[in-house]
Structure 1
């Protein structure tokens, strides 16, 4: 079965990497058709990936793809293709709604109302009931444009305007929302708190799978607990520590709040401990942490020894095939240069007062091989560099 995954969010490179990591773990190959579109061909798709990811906006099954065209030609093309028949059900008639969406400036000249009316009429003749508020399925048309995302890509990717369509199931809405999990909405808040979507992506990129099937992760610089919250929601048993007692107490307050709001959470252990000297009860396959940083940390060596010492300690507490994901302070000039279309050598940029080429060597000296990096803009004067590593054997 062919499917297309639509990636949302302000950081398409990060979230696309997250989706690709989960697909790879499931043995499913993917192809990038657009910075926000992945195509997969598999008869064994795990739809739970949609709920686990931080930014999948659509998972379109079947359907098709065409170059951008006007409304009449598009309607003729979709109607000429086989339509989705409603699944058999002994309980009731299955319901559907038609949605038309634009991303990255797509959909110029396309009449949403015409598509919804005509496609809805066709689906009605196929036996679907209609429910615009809470349908069992949605028939979705996505008009994909050519506009550059706010956070550009390091690599050149296809960006031609085109139109997709397919069958989709609405996402499960039983979890508390992303907005409800942002720092200011939690009982304990500090301005340094991590955006929940980035925290979720970090947990998924760390791939917290034990050989016996259990899920486990450690965050030795837990701060206000953003990564631990996302791990708990994903069913990942986690260990979090911080040398600052206020942070650990605040993290526990946030976790207690989460347990009052949400059922079926994985266990989390928190304690006051030094990231340079922590010891776990057993090795874990995943680490994710966000080191403390200041506005100018990218050009100051302050914090470098904490980072390297934490990496070394994680190595000692890791399984042989463990992964580690962290965020480093990064100069905003790198992202600005990419936005301007300039070809830049990231090895020349600094983090913690150290050229990236040298920092990568230092990371590897702590036992970790850098797999990939993604620059993430925070605001005008600060970016972060997400670094994904695997343990060296």
Structure 2
């Protein structure tokens, strides 16, 4: 089965990486067919229930489609492709349909193309229903290819909007937005009922997203106020977790006990760390915390680390760097995302 993922535009490559990380976490065998301008196409055999789990996990994907045909992005080629596509395999007798083209498509005559494709499908014995169709066909258009797709899953934008930091009981400025937090959690490869740790949990944004996909969450912060606030936020969304006030460089957990870690390293908060009686130097905190992350991770486990500077390969830990990304927060601030694997 060919599947197309219509990705969000927050980052050029992070949404793709999230999809692939989730496929790997769910043990789905796939081949990447194409990745171009926010569209990822893979070949994979996925059961409907597994696809539903995948769709529910993703934070940076708008929609998932089944690809029923491909052609050049020219009108005559598109119409010939649709005419030759066997729509009967995905449409029951008496079902209705609609045809869409994404709003961000640069195709010059979208409405005319939609009308012509709709007429071809109607000619096969199906009725149009634009308000509540049984099936929605979508023409995904790139510069080289048109994909004739059937919509399988669409992300509910409201679920992430409802978890924006300002809507939580406990709020602190400068936290990661829910969609990005979900992507970071997914990059860690965590699965349901596995142990997930954030050693700099702050207000609990990463723990919330990990808990939402069924992970068992453990959070730690040097500030008691943050730990109390995280507990309040988790409870607000019906989640629980093990929360600790303490030093991220000295965590009272046994070796090799954590399945996956994601964390946003502190920046610009050295005075708070010093006031709390722990290591005052952020420069020293980073390598010390990484050493502790390495100790706690199970062999083969992943840590996703967000920091204010690039990860240095000179740090003496047995990590393999899998991926690195630069995420622009605003004009004067970039955050560096590094995916590490314990070897």
2:66 to 61, 73, 78: 61
What corresponds to 2:106 in structure 1? Answer: 107
What corresponds to 1:202 in structure 2? Answer: 184
What corresponds to 2:6 in structure 1? Answer: 6
What corresponds to 2:85 in structure 1? Answer: 82
| 199-208 or 122-131: bigger deviation | 122-131
TM-score normalised by length of structure 2 = 0.85
What corresponds to 1:187 in structure 2? Answer: 169
Instruction: Give the Cα separation in 1 of the matches to 2:170 and 2:132.
Output: 34
Deviation at 1:218, TM superposition (A): 0.5
User: Does residue 165 of structure 1 match 2:167?
Assistant: no
Going from structure 1 to structure 2, the CA distance change for 1:137 and 1:306 (only over 3 Å counts) comes to farther
How many residues end up aligned between the 2 structures?
328
Q: How does 1:46-57 map to 2 (within 5 A)?
A: 46-47=50-51, 48-57=53-62
What corresponds to 2:99 in structure 1? Answer: 98
Q: How does 1:1-393 map to 2 (within 5 A)?
A: 1-25=1-25, 26-44=28-46, 46-47=50-51, 48-69=53-74, 72-85=75-88, 87=90, 93-103=94-104, 106-109=105-108, 111-128=109-126, 130-144=128-142, 160-171=143-154, 173=156, 177-209=159-191, 214-259=193-238, 267-280=240-253, 283-294=257-268, 302-330=281-309, 351=310, 359-362=312-315, 365-392=316-343
Instruction: Give the Cα separation in 2 of the matches to 1:383 and 1:172.
Output: 27
TM-score normalised by length of structure 1 = 0.75
Instruction: Give the Cα separation in 1 of the matches to 2:123 and 2:9.
Output: 36
Deviation at 1:284, TM superposition (A): 1.5
Instruction: Give the Cα separation in 1 of the matches to 2:184 and 2:145.
Output: 31
Instruction: Give the Cα separation in 1 of the matches to 2:113 and 2:231.
Output: 50
Instruction: Give the Cα separation in 2 of the matches to 1:96 and 1:280.
Output: 55
Going from structure 1 to structure 2, the CA distance change for 1:60 and 1:280 (only over 3 Å counts) comes to same
Going from structure 1 to structure 2, the CA distance change for 1:295 and 1:113 (only over 3 Å counts) comes to farther
Contact 2:79/2:116, CA 8 A, preserved across alignment: no
Deviation at 1:285, TM superposition (A): 1.5
Going from structure 1 to structure 2, the CA distance change for 1:130 and 1:295 (only over 3 Å counts) comes to farther
Contact 1:83/1:123, CA 8 A, preserved across alignment: no
Deviation at 1:6, TM superposition (A): 2.1
Deviation at 1:307, TM superposition (A): 1.8
Q: Secondary structure at the match of 1:221?
A: coil
Instruction: Give the Cα separation in 2 of the matches to 1:391 and 1:216.
Output: 16
Deviation at 1:205, TM superposition (A): 0.8
What corresponds to 2:276 in structure 1? Answer: none
Instruction: Give the Cα separation in 1 of the matches to 2:125 and 2:167.
Output: 44
Note the aligned Cα RMSD (angstroms).
2.7
Contact 2:98/2:133, CA 8 A, preserved across alignment: yes
What corresponds to 1:157 in structure 2? Answer: none
Deviation at 1:37, TM superposition (A): 2.2
Q: Name stretches of at least 5 consecutive residues in structure 1 with no aligned partner.
A: 145-159, 260-264, 331-350
